[in-house]
Structure 1
């Protein structure tokens, strides 16, 4: 039997959530706190769990369909309920680029967010 304590096959990536993305999350959570604070707390926990998952499994996210059609394979996404978490992988680092409500016009919003400067 393989001793997994001696053979750690997991890669640990550094996950960066820039302040611009933190602001996106604050806006989402502020909206839901006013409606249902329990739901807002659960939503925050779900987002945090997704960011933790990226530490070990960043490749599990799918390529962004709106960009994939242009053969753009640098960007990936995870889905969390109605929200899409966009990120890219650079060596051993995962950079979260945006969190967008998937019910909106994602293509226009995504282009604007990917063009903004990130403060880390």
Structure 2
């Protein structure tokens, strides 16, 4: 059974901000990056544990996928068969907050 992939309000805000910022100089690149980040997130429905553990947290259910320079940070909720995308985080940003 596939996992349901949901985006948190913070993740939606992150994605909107990323796309808006990049669109200032290249609308097509912004659209492509937004699609790539969403496609990467959808992969988690089949393979929720494919990402590595997030070093900032000591929790095996908080994981990340890398699409340089971005990190797709998510939480696996096995009992609910759900993957919650917590943040789309640029690697240059400090202090990851969920």
| TM-score computed with the length of structure 2 as normaliser | 0.90
**What are the Cα deviations for residues 28-66 of structure 1, in whole angstroms up to 9, with x where unaligned?**
100000111111011011011112101101110000122
Pairwise CA distance, 1:20: 2.1
Pairwise CA distance, 1:77: 0.2
SS in 1 for 2:18: helix
Correspondence 1:40 to 2:30 = yes
Q: Which of 76, 84, 108 does residue 71 from structure 2 map onto? A: 84
- What stretches of structure 1 move > 6 A for 4+ residues in a row? none
SS in 2 for 1:35: coil
The structure where helix makes up a greater share of residues is 1
Q: How many residues align?
A: 96
Q: Which of 23, 35, 56 does residue 13 from structure 2 map onto? A: 23
Residue of structure 2 equivalent to 1:55: 45
Q: Which of 87, 90, 93 does residue 82 from structure 2 map onto? A: 93
Q: Are the aligned partners of 2:48 and 2:76 in contact in 1 as well (CA < 8 Å)?
A: yes
Correspondence 1:66 to 2:56 = yes
Structure 2: gaps (5+ residues): none
The structure where strand makes up a greater share of residues is 2
